[in-house]
Amino acid sequence: MSEHADPQPVPPASVVLVSGGSRGLGLAIVTDLVERGVRVAAFARTVTPELAKLAAEHSDRTHVDAVDVTDHAATSAFLRAAEQRLGPVDGLVNNAAVGQDSLHAHTAAEDIGRIVETNLTAPLRLTRLVVRRLLARGRRGRIVNVTSICAQRGFPGLVAYSATKGGMDAATRSLARELGGRMLVNAVAPGFFASEMSAVLGPTQLDQIVRRTPTGHLTEPAEVVPVVRMLLREQTNINGQVIVVDGAASV
């Protein structure tokens, strides 16, 4: 079933919820938006000193808390509290995720469940929550899903993880069609970048990725952030797309 198309442009998001905003790429996205005057709600299971400091410095336009994205009641309560403080959320960045470093045959069944729950089920539920509130108010919005190049290219040790990212890429396309232009829904698929998640990669694997990358370096979070900002804030007709940011490593 698809909604009727709506030709009005979708305005820039002014209150953005970022999941997993405590460190790595999520913290970089939160910092960039806050420094540009955007009101930002961010959560992770632990509020790091870096996120707490940013929130304290910009207390008028931030709302942060410790929330597990797989806890539906807690994410709902966080969203309500964030909206009371900052106004209606009209931008969502599904960034929180857990990685994997195990061959599929050696991955415990519970670990597969946890990866799927965190990286696929939880963002779909959070998206549903945000979309329902926006539609109920007759408002428009922007959604950015942080996926991965792993959804498009094969990497050993990342089978369940890749499946979740491919699932989010597919959901991005279908939701963009379903929302009929009321919201712009896109995904950003970075190549490997240094973070706690990718710390499991050894120097040999990192060297190999760099050698395969025409731009000659690993992707930096700072090279992904402007693309996320553009999808949230700029007037474009980009919708239902997965934008790869990997220096052409996968081309």
Contact residues for ligand NAP, defined by CB under 6 A: 19-20, 22-26, 44-46, 68-70, 95-98, 118, 146, 148, 190, 192-193, 195-198
Least gap, CB of 237 to ligand NAP (angstroms): 25
DSSP-based helix, strand, coil % in the chain, nearest 5: 45, 15, 35
Secondary structure E strands in the chain: 15-19, 39-44, 62-66, 91-94, 141-146, 183-190, 242-245
Least gap, CB of 100 to ligand NAP (angstroms): 10
Written as six digits, the tokens of 140 are: 């428009």
CA angle 17, 241, 91 (to 5 degrees): 15
Which lies closer to ligand NAP via its Cβ, residue 98 or residue 135?
98
Which lies closer to ligand NAP via its Cβ, residue 62 or residue 95?
95
Least gap, CB of 183 to ligand NAP (angstroms): 20
Least gap, CB of 101 to ligand NAP (angstroms): 12
Least gap, CB of 55 to ligand NAP (angstroms): 14
Least gap, CB of 104 to ligand NAP (angstroms): 18
H-only helix segments in 91-141 = 109-116, 122-136
Sheet holding 242-245, edge to edge: 62-66, 39-44, 15-19, 91-94, 141-146, 183-190, 242-245
Written as six digits, the tokens of 143 are: 């959604």
161 is catalytic: yes
Catalytic-role residue among 19, 120, 129, 161: 161
Closest residue to ligand NAP, Cβ-based?
24
Which lies closer to ligand NAP via its Cβ, residue 20 or residue 181?
20
Which lies closer to ligand NAP via its Cβ, residue 70 or residue 186?
70
Distance CA 196, CA 23 (A): 8
Residue type, position 182, single letter: R
Active site members: 161
